Amino acid sequence: MAKIEMKTPLVEMDGDEMTRIIWKMIKDELICPFVGLKTEYYDLGLENRDATDDQVTIDSAEATKRLGVAVKCATITPNAARVEEYGLKQMWKSPNGTIRAILDGTVFRAPIVVAGIDPYVRTWTKPITLARHAYGDVYKNAELRIPGAGKVELVYTPADGGNEQRVLVHEYDGAGVAQGMHNLDASIEGFARASLSYALDTRQDIWFATKDTISKTYDHRFKDIFQEVYENEYKAAFEEAGIEYFYTLIDDAVARVMRSEGGFIWACKNYDGDVMSDMVSSAFGSLAMMTSVLVSPHGYWEYEAAHGTVQRHYYKHLKGQETSTNSVATIFAWSGALRKRGELDGTPDLVAFANKLEQATVATIEAGEMTGDLVAITSHPAPKKLNTQEFIQAVAKRLAE
Ligand code: NAP
Ligand code: MG
């Protein structure tokens, strides 16, 4: 069988632990037998990030700006334990944080809906897509440990030599901590546009929420910018499409989401999106069934699974024990990237292959062949638990049919 040709390479960002094992299996069994795969390869595994002083992460993001579409494996964000485990030169930053800061943009996470894997929340009959603002706030903050009595202030010094602005954060009479965060009007506007466009593309309502009653300047700015972008650029198209933009307070949004039937985009500030996407994805069944795509307003796409490196399974794998790690979200990262590449290059065969890969994956699970995490939650009458490799091979078999 002739392999499907690719015009432009994907940026391939390899990663760590169990997902690195899965990564190779997916390429070997599901992609390379069918596609003349072209990638520009960047090894974001922790050892290579350390060896290159994290330059490889920056290079991979720059390559994404050049080529447009990237697919990324889950990576370790080092903490103190990892610094010791890998003998790291320093506690490198989160690669995802670095890539998001370079590409700017919004992360959309949507559950992969499969018959027999039912959400824990009874009312959720449709997927909830989470749009996470991927710039600034606590992820790009400045922090201070305050050793003792003293004063912390925020100071703005205008570049044009205008009047300085100064506000008191706190007058300390003992030890404590302080934090400074920022965001940019341009980035918030990009977030609003990406979210509203995605809602329009997918014909779904969009919700946005902040804590503007408490954060009267910072969060309020987000609320105002969203409203402005909506009124000026989207209102008419939304009315024509019969969809709605809905703003509320973040705590009210959380309460309403739990009672909703789903089927909308939930746009969240960076931290809310980080936390709420983990809640939404696990409530939809499994973290391993959540896809993630970073959409940059400049026209770059980076696809990945929402889960991490599945460390516990990797340690079992290293001991020679059998694992049953779910590869679905990583498969969908590849299919998402290949589909987008095909759309941009005008290669319909590649788009069709991406669709077929997703259908084969879903059909495998619906036929009762699945990994252990899904066996534990499925309503399928006779599920069969496959190990990590067997599941990928079961998908490959369907794909070859
Ligand atoms: P995790 O890798 O998402 O795994 C947490 C737990 O969720 C696993 O132990 C497993 O539960 C279950 N799980 C997640 N994905 C699964 C899959 N594909 N198949 C089956 N079960 C799955 O999160 P973590 O253990 O907190 O983090 C591990 C490493 O990943 C950390 O170093 C972290 O920095 C990194 N991380 C990276 C990304 C990213 O690159 N996007 C995101 C998050 C975390 P059981 O053990 O109960 O089976
Ligand atoms: Mg998170």
In 38-139, DSSP assigns E strands to 39-43, 69-72, 106-111, 128-133
| Spatial CA neighbour of 7 closest among 256, 264, 284, 343 | 343
Q: What residues are paired with 170 via a beta bridge? A: 152
Atom of ligand 1 nearest to the CA of 311: 28
Give the model's confidence band at 134: pLDDT under 50 very low, under 70 low, under 90 confident, else very high. Answer: confident
pLDDT value for 167: 97
Q: Which ligand is nearest to the CA of 275?
A: 2
**Pocket (CB within 6 angstroms of ligand 1):** 74-77, 96, 287-288, 304, 307-312, 325-326, 373
**Could you give phi then psi for residue 43, rounded to 5 degrees?**
-90, 100
Query: Given its phi and psi angles, is residue 143 left (phi above 0), alpha (psi -120 to 50 degrees) or beta?
Result: beta
Residue 265 has pLDDT above 90, yes or no: yes
Choose the residue to mutate in 88, 279, 290, 310 for probing ligand 1, maximizing ligand atoms within 8 Å of C-beta.
Answer: 310
CA of 85 to the centre of ligand 1 (A): 17
**Most distant CA pair in the chain, distance:** 75
Q: Which ligand is nearest to the CA of 77?
A: 1
Look at residue 391 and give its three-state secondary structure: helix
pTM for the complete prediction?
0.84
pLDDT value for 264: 96
CA angle 278, 209, 268 (to 5 degrees): 35
Chain centre distance of CA 7 = 26
Q: pLDDT digits over 12-38, tens only?
A: 999 999 999 999 999 999 999 999 999
pLDDT value for 186: 93
Residue 244 has pLDDT above 80, yes or no: yes
pLDDT value for 287: 81
Nearest CA to ligand 1 atom 33: 76
Q: pLDDT digits over 81-127, tens only?
A: 999 999 999 999 999 989 988 987 788 988 998 999 988 898 998 98
pLDDT value for 238: 98
Given a contact cutoff of 8 angstroms between Cβ atoms, the answer to whether 213 and 249 are in contact is: yes
Residue 201 has pLDDT above 90, yes or no: no
Choose the residue to mutate in 46, 75, 291, 307 for probing ligand 1, maximizing ligand atoms within 8 Å of C-beta.
Answer: 307
